[in-house]
């Protein structure tokens, strides 16, 4: 729940991590059913922080893509029914615009133009928000997203789901120099598949005796060193691309957003690389998926374009930052 688009009155997140952890990743049907079960209680809990409840609501923002179709349908159907019943406008928002606006939401001094590194489970992009509602993508990944790379690395290392936090935890005690990983440096693009293959070979080269039946290293010290080496290579590549583009464009403000922005090694590296510039990295609760960022992007959209025509269409493959 936001007041005037920028003040978080309440933010309720219902995590499905436990549900999906048992399967080692997201199961679409289970995800949609879980959305259906919790959406009512989550909205009510969020509204309970607002004096007047629904009567005080003057707009509803909802994610229309990208994402799993079943989950998007649950959200948009609920939002539209609630908005129509109460006569308030509804706006469909891109999940990716939400991530860009998580920075704006967390830092009251931040206004466009700003350059954002967007690193989530499905995206790795460098995007410039030139003005409200006007975003341009300047780089993207050729294969996996950064979060996806962390999740795959965690699986190879036997660290479970979700992978990012698990790899980060293991890396804390590891030596990032022990296993050399490739330093991918493409011009204006990211790629994580080579890094993932190197990790797989490094594990294989330990020899069968050093591996569990599932094929991950037995020795926690080795897991820690591999995790640290992998994380350092990911962070270095992200910084290389962001740094090159920031220098080329003379960026004056930098933001890092998305689930992977919760990674402390990345947060530290960005702050030290751009020591002379204002850098916004949202608190962890606004990095991983949340409704507040969707509200902020929706508030701007409503201000700029007015409400959507009746019937927000979901788009699972939506590829828009504004």
**Which of ligand KG4, Zn ion, none does residue 124 bind (CB under 5 to 8 Å by kind)?**
none
In the bound state with ligand KG4, the residue whose beta carbon lies nearer, of 57 and 284, is 284
Which of the ranges 17-25, 186-194, 253-261, 304-312 carries the binding residues for ligand KG4, by CB under 6 A?
A: 253-261
Nearest to 127 by CA among 100, 106, 93: 100
In the bound state with Zn ion, the residue whose beta carbon lies nearer, of 104 and 179, is 104
Q: Is 75 in the site for ligand KG4 (CB under 6 A)?
A: no
In the bound state with ligand KG4, the residue whose beta carbon lies nearer, of 82 and 296, is 296
Interface pattern 110-149 for Zn ion (x via CB under 5 A): ----------x-----------------------------
Q: Is 263 in the site for ligand KG4 (CB under 6 A)?
A: yes
Q: Is 259 in the site for ligand KG4 (CB under 6 A)?
A: yes
State the SS3 of the chain: CEECCCEECCCCCCCCHHHHHCCCCCCHHHHHHHHHHHHHHHHHHHHCCCCCHHHHCCCEEEEEECCCHHHHHHHHHHHHHHHHHHCCCEEEEEHHHHHHHHHHHHCCCCCCCEEEEEECCCCEEEEEEEECCEEEEEEEECCCCHHHHHHHHHHHCCCCCCHHHHHHHHHCCCCCCCCCCCCCCCCCEECCHHHHHHHHHHHHCCCHHHECCCCCECCHHHHHHHHHHHHHHHHHHHHHHHHHHHHHHCCCCEEEECHHHHCHHHHHHHHHHCCCCCEECCCHHHHCCCHHHHHHHHHHHHHHHCCCCCCCCCCCCCCCCC
Smallest distance, ligand KG4 to C-beta of residue 276, A:
26
Which of the ranges 48-56, 129-137, 200-208, 283-291 carries the binding residues for Zn ion, by CB under 5 A?
A: 283-291
**Which of Zn ion, ligand KG4, none does residue 128 bind (CB under 5 to 8 Å by kind)?**
none
Query: Binding ligand KG4 by CB under 6 A: which of 128, 144, 168, 225?
Result: 168
Query: Binding ligand KG4 by CB under 6 A: which of 92, 258, 295, 298?
Result: 258
Smallest distance, ligand KG4 to C-beta of residue 209, A:
30
Interface pattern 285-304 for ligand KG4 (x via CB under 6 A): ---xx---------------
Q: Please report the sign of the dihedral spanned by the C-alpha atoms of residue 235, residue 238, residue 242, residue 247.
A: positive
The Cα–Cα gap between 280 and 118 comes to: 12
Q: Is 122 in the site for ligand KG4 (CB under 6 A)?
A: yes
In the bound state with Zn ion, the residue whose beta carbon lies nearer, of 148 and 225, is 148
Residues of this chain that interact with Zn ion (CB under 5 A) are 120, 289
Residues of this chain that interact with ligand KG4 (CB under 6 A) are 120-122, 147-148, 150-151, 162-165, 168, 258-260, 262-263, 288-289
């Amino acid at each position: 729940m936001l007041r005037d688009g920028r003040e978080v009155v309440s933010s309720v997140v219902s995590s499905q991590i436990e549900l999906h952890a048992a399967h080692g990743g997201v199961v679409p049907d289970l995800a949609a059913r879980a959305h259906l079960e919790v959406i009512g209680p989550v909205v009510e809990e969020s509204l309970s922080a607002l004096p007047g409840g629904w009567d005080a609501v003057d707009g509803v923002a909802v994610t229309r893509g990208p994402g799993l179709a079943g989950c998007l349908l649950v959200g948009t159907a609920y939002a539209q029914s609630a908005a129509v019943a109460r006569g308030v406008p509804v706006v469909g928002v891109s999940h990716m615009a939400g991530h860009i606006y998580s920075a704006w939401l967390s830092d009251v001094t931040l206004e466009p133009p700003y350059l954002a590194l967007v690193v989530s489970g499905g995206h790795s992009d460098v995007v410039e928000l030139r003005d409200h509602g006007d975003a341009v993508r300047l780089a993207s990944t050729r294969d996996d997203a950064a979060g996806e790379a962390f999740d795959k690395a965690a699986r190879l290392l036997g660290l479970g789901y979700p992978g990012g936090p698990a790899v980060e935890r293991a890396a804390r005690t590891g030596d990032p120099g022990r296993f050399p990983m490739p330093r991918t440096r493409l011009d204006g693009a990211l790629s994580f598949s080579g890094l993932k293959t190197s990790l797989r070979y490094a594990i294989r080269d330990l020899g069968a005796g050093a591996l569990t039946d599932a094929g991950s290293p037995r020795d926690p010290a080795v897991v820690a060193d591999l995790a640290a080496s992998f994380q350092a290579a990911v962070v270095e590549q992200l910084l290389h691309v962001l740094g090159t583009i920031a220098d080329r464009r003379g960026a004056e403000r930098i933001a890092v957003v998305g689930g992977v922005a919760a990674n402390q090694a990345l947060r530290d590296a960005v702050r030290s690389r751009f020591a002379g510039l204002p850098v916004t990295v949202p608190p962890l609760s606004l990095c991983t998926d949340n409704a507040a960022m969707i509200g902020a992007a929706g508030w701007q959209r409503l201000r700029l374009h007015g409400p959507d025509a009746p019937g927000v269409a979901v788009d699972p493959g939506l590829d828009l930052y504004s």
